Structure 1
Amino acid sequence: MNRNILITTTNTVENANIKEYMGIISTNVVLGTNFFSDFAASFTDFFGGFSNTYQNKLQIIYKEAIDELSKKAVSLGANCIIGLNIDFDEISGKSKSMFMISAIGTAAQIDIAETDATNIKSIGQISADALNKEYLKKILTSNITKGAFPSEEEWNLLAVYDVPEISEKLFDLFLLTGKKSAEMMTEEEKSLFKNFPQYYIRLNKKLQIDLAYSKLNGTNDRAVADLIIRNKLFDAKGIIDIIRNYKINIAINLLESDKDYYTDKDIVLMQDLVDAITNIPDKGKIEIVKGLFSKREEKYLCPNGHKNDADTKFCYECGLNIKGLTKKQLTCINKFSVKIEALQELLGLKK
């Protein structure tokens, strides 16, 4: 479960004000026929009490549904789910049965007042979870600062406890390790390369985005872009900033990225992104040059200085247009524009 999300079955939160309702979110988790066959095999557990096997399986899919709902809430920028409702259903058909758990709630942004955490500290009580998390943070921060890698045991702890404080250092180590071939990696580096993606995906979505886009510094752009696309970290503002820093190629590559959910606010930013690309300055030019027999004529000089006929859209030698873009990149931009239109239609904003 995402520890940055507060979840409640009530429609209010004690000591908190609801700043904004982000929308209704829901998820379904379905298990196949094996669930019922396993349940039948453990039927004898019912005599004298509840079935432990049955309860364990319910707990697994219950947690999976809540985790999925939490991810959806975080992607919308919420820090709370209110009005949580859970339903269990059996779906039967064609002599087969499936078991489904449905979870629904309202994602919201709340303003939390002074919490009981302060009071707990004042009477000298700290939970074991809080202590273990703080201990892990201190140990790993110290070790990583010295250039050490997390051990397998520490990676296992990071799968339980969120320690965002070390995210940037681990990100840098991950990028550095990724430049090596598998044969050249040490065991610690292999462990990092294997475990970091799972650690990273559990971070708050905003932190994931901020980290990734801050690392687009010209050194590891391709690796970072792949991470952004793979983890659905599309951020229009971030891509516009990249364009302003004259990294147009990587910006267009990131148009292929996605995000978990879109709202009407995204449309405005996505249109601003298209405008930013459209208005990039020309890198090539049309100029008059001397031809054969001293005849002066217009030529298209591409960004690489190749001469073409004035009406040429893309350089015959390097394939660049006057803005330094290829046909493939223009196709990518056009697809993104169509994506905006589709989103407008789905949200009922296009007349």
Structure 2
Amino acid sequence: MIVTTTNSIEGREISRYYDPIAAHVVIGTNIFSDIGASYVDFFGGRSTSYEKKMQEMYKRVTETLKQRAQAIRADAIIGLSVDIDEISGKGSQMFMITAVGTPVHLKEVARVPMEKQDDLLDGELIQQKVRADIILENYKTVESINRETAEFIATSGLREFEPLIFRAMNEDYDSGIDQSPKDKQEILFRYFDYLPDEEAIAILYNALSEGNLTTLQVKRINAIITSSNFIDYTKAVNLLNSNIYARRIALKIFSLDKDWYSKEDIAILKSLEGDALAKFFPEIVQVEESKGMFSSGKEVWRCGCGHTNKLDNSNCGSCTRDKRGFKEKSLKPEEVQGMVNRRIQVIERLGTI
């Protein structure tokens, strides 16, 4: 990942700016080997041990910043600044190193490999594909590859890695103590950022429509579409007419703001005006008669988790999902419907419709 103190990257165009991020490392003076060195020595650079330790701390805080930028699928960090502050109190002395920068997404560099021209083959392309073949033959899990390999896969733009990425989506490292596999997984998920947007959108939306995904894969795709702003209203409407998991991701997509709205986008929004969007999410519970000793004959509704609830209860007493299957704190159809309606009102005021 490119990290620079400047506000631009020579030869690259920035397509998106994220909110600034920060990383902190606090160190005590007792970690240094020459404790007797003076405060002036520390900042004057006369102590080799201090200088070495400070380089290590600088590297650590910068790496932390990179990891946070990669977690939101940024390609680079600009405007990097690193500050050192003294923290003193109760007879102890510590230093806090703070790194601040702005994550950015870079536009893909147009590179059209010359597969064949005048009986010549592009050597770089062949080299990449040979390496890809070796990786695919040996891949077992995210843990089986190193960070450099993960970077190569993510930035290669090679479609043959697509099945590997979907396999990686089904690996769960969220609760592990070792962050290395999770970090490599986050790098792999940036694979779609290095494909043309049209290709990335087609792959992700088609996978959702086909419905052959695990819950974990659906979760990953949802996060990728959201963080990379892969918004396509036409394909999102198709998701509304698909399986329940696809419909819920479509709901999330319609809650996001687009950079630009085409006439087709506006027409789709108009078609979902009023309560049209919410109608795609009806109640999915079963209403049945209770068989309990003291409530026999009374109507109850059975949640997808198997728990039965009184008919007038809005949420399940066991899993807290409502009658449409939404968790208590999840994004609801009526919330997104309100966003869509308000968006249409603003567009109408602008005289676009």
TM-score using structure 1 length: 0.51
The residue that corresponds to 1:90 in the other structure is: 85
Give the Å deviation of 1:69.
Answer: 4.0
CA contact (8 A) 2:165 2:189 kept: no
- CA distance in 2 between partners of 1:102 and 1:13 (Å): 19
Change (3 A) 1:161 1:15: closer
Give the Å deviation of 1:99.
Answer: 0.9
Change (3 A) 1:326 1:252: farther
Give the Å deviation of 1:243.
Answer: 2.8
CA contact (8 A) 1:7 1:80 kept: yes
5, 8, 11: which is aligned to 1:9?
5
The residue that corresponds to 1:223 in the other structure is: 216
CA contact (8 A) 1:215 1:224 kept: no
- CA distance in 1 between partners of 2:103 and 2:277 (Å): 36
Change (3 A) 1:101 1:339: farther
What is the root-mean-square deviation in Å for CA atoms of aligned residues?
A: 5.6
Give the Å deviation of 1:41.
Answer: 5.3
- CA distance in 2 between partners of 1:223 and 1:111 (Å): 28
2:242 alignment partner AA: Y
The residue that corresponds to 2:54 in the other structure is: 54
CA contact (8 A) 1:229 1:254 kept: no
Q: Deviations over 1:27-72 (max 9, x none)?
A: 22222344x3213557779556863233222222123224434655
CA contact (8 A) 1:85 1:104 kept: yes
The residue that corresponds to 1:162 in the other structure is: 152
- CA distance in 2 between partners of 1:172 and 1:228 (Å): 9
Is it true that 1:207 corresponds to 2:192 in the alignment? yes
- CA distance in 2 between partners of 1:149 and 1:39 (Å): 42
CA contact (8 A) 1:15 1:112 kept: no
Q: Deviations over 1:217-257 (max 9, x none)?
A: 32224231243467795666488256334223453378689
Change (3 A) 1:244 1:254: closer
Change (3 A) 1:55 1:340: farther
Q: Deviations over 1:283-338 (max 9, x none)?
A: x9xxxxxxxxxxxxxxxxx998999xxxxxxx9555799xxx92443964538728
- CA distance in 2 between partners of 1:107 and 1:139 (Å): 29
Change (3 A) 1:340 1:231: farther
Is it true that 1:265 corresponds to 2:258 in the alignment? yes
TM-score using structure 2 length: 0.50
The residue that corresponds to 1:126 in the other structure is: none
Q: What SS does the corresponding residue of 1:141 show, helix, strand or coil?
A: helix
The residue that corresponds to 2:100 in the other structure is: 103
Residue correspondences, number: 265
Give the Å deviation of 1:201.
Answer: 0.8
- CA distance in 1 between partners of 2:143 and 2:171 (Å): 20
Give the Å deviation of 1:177.
Answer: 8.3
Change (3 A) 1:204 1:230: closer
2:163 alignment partner AA: K
Give the Å deviation of 1:86.
Answer: 0.9
Q: Deviations over 1:141-164 (max 9, x none)?
A: 2463x6x53599961264564223
Q: Deviations over 1:70-94 (max 9, x none)?
A: 655x45xxx5554x23121225264
117, 123, 138: which is aligned to 2:130?
138
Is it true that 1:32 corresponds to 2:26 in the alignment? yes
Is it true that 1:337 corresponds to 2:335 in the alignment? yes
Q: What SS does the corresponding residue of 1:163 show, helix, strand or coil?
A: helix
- CA distance in 2 between partners of 1:151 and 1:306 (Å): 45
Of 198-207 and 228-237, the range deviating more from structure 2: 228-237
Change (3 A) 1:328 1:58: same
Structure 2: runs of 5 or more not aligned: 38-44, 112-123, 173-178, 194-199, 290-298, 305-310, 312-321, 343-353
1:68 alignment partner AA: R
Within-5 A mapping of 1:125-204 = 138-142=130-134, 144=136, 148-150=138-140, 155-156=145-146, 158=148, 161-164=151-154, 165=158, 167-174=161-168, 197-203=182-188
Q: What SS does the corresponding residue of 2:139 show, helix, strand or coil?
A: coil
- CA distance in 2 between partners of 1:304 and 1:149 (Å): 44
Is it true that 1:243 corresponds to 2:239 in the alignment? yes
- CA distance in 1 between partners of 2:108 and 2:49 (Å): 43
CA contact (8 A) 2:21 2:102 kept: no
- CA distance in 2 between partners of 1:112 and 1:23 (Å): 17
Give the Å deviation of 1:109.
Answer: 4.9
